[in-house]
């Protein structure tokens, strides 16, 4: 399972054992939410403003293309939304609301699933920064991990 791999990497890279345990408890408690995805879809897995092409048309702005699909995966569509939202943190609630509204109808359990996927993305980002020796962002990402794990 991807979670086990990321958690193992977290510890191997020197991550806090207590934080590891908090994430593991959250996955044990809420992991059944992953089963609520009815069918995996193609997910970009790096969707942000820099990878979306838009043009102004007679009825306003519209998406004309998506680029940089080298990390595409088949997964729960909410995994893309969660990553886009997590990587956009700090932009403000109006932007977050626009992102979620623009996505379209969400399942009833979307808030819980988005939090869980954001936890995965935070853990993945922490592991990546640590693996390349970039320690500056680690403390703030660890705070995100703790918050999302419910610690």
DSSP-assigned states of every residue in the chain: -HHHHHHHHHHHTT--HHHHHHHHHHHHHHGGGGGG-SS-EEE-SS-SGGGEEEEEETTEEEEEEE---TT-EEE-HHHHHHHHHHHTTTS-HHHHHHHHHHH----TTHHHHHHHHHHHHHHHHHHHHHHTT--TTHHHHHHHHHHHHT-
Answer whether residue 1 shows pLDDT above 70.
Answer: no
Shortest CA distance to 53 belongs to which of 42, 67, 71, 68? 67
Ordered domains of the chain (ranges, CATH)? 2-149 (3.90.1200.10)
Q: What is the mean pLDDT of residues 97-103?
A: 85
Confidence of residue 116 (pLDDT cuts 50, 70, 90): very high
Kindly state the average pLDDT of the residues 65-83: 93
What average pLDDT does the segment 22-46 reach? 94
Please report the pLDDT score of residue 90 as a whole number.
62
- Rounded to whole angstroms, the Cα distance separating 144 from 129 reads 14
The residue ranking higher by pLDDT, 47 or 72, is: 72
Instruction: Using the predicted structure, report yes or no on whether residue 139 has a pLDDT greater than 90.
Output: yes
Predicted TM-score (pTM) above 0.85: yes
- Give me the mean pLDDT over the 98-107 stretch: 88
pLDDT in tens, 40-62: 999 999 888 788 899 999 999 88
Residue 87 has a pLDDT of 86
Give the pLDDT of residue 89.
58
Tell me how far apart the alpha carbons of residues 67 and 72 are, in angstroms, rounded to a whole number.
11
Region of 68 please: left (phi>0), alpha (psi -120 to 50) or beta: left
Q: What is the pLDDT of residue 36?
A: 94
Q: What is the mean pLDDT of the chain?
A: 92
Looking at residue 92, its pLDDT comes to 76
């Amino acid at each position: 399972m991807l979670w086990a791999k990321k958690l193992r990497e977290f510890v191997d890279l020197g991550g806090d054992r207590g934080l590891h345990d908090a994430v593991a408890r959250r996955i044990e408690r809420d992991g059944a939410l992953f089963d609520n995805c009815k069918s995996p879809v193609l997910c970009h897995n790096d969707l942000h403003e820099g990878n979306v092409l838009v043009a102004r048309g007679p009825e306003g702005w519209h998406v004309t293309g998506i680029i940089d699909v080298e990390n595409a995966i088949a997964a729960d569509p909410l995994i893309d939304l969660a990553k886009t939202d997590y990587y956009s943190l700090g932009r403000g609630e109006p932007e977050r609301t626009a992102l979620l509204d623009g996505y379209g109808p969400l399942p009833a359990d979307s808030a819980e699933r988005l939090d869980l996927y954001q936890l995965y993305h935070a853990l993945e980002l922490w592991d990546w920064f640590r693996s390349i020796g970039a320690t500056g962002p680690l403390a703030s990402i660890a705070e995100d991990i703790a918050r999302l794990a419910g610690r």
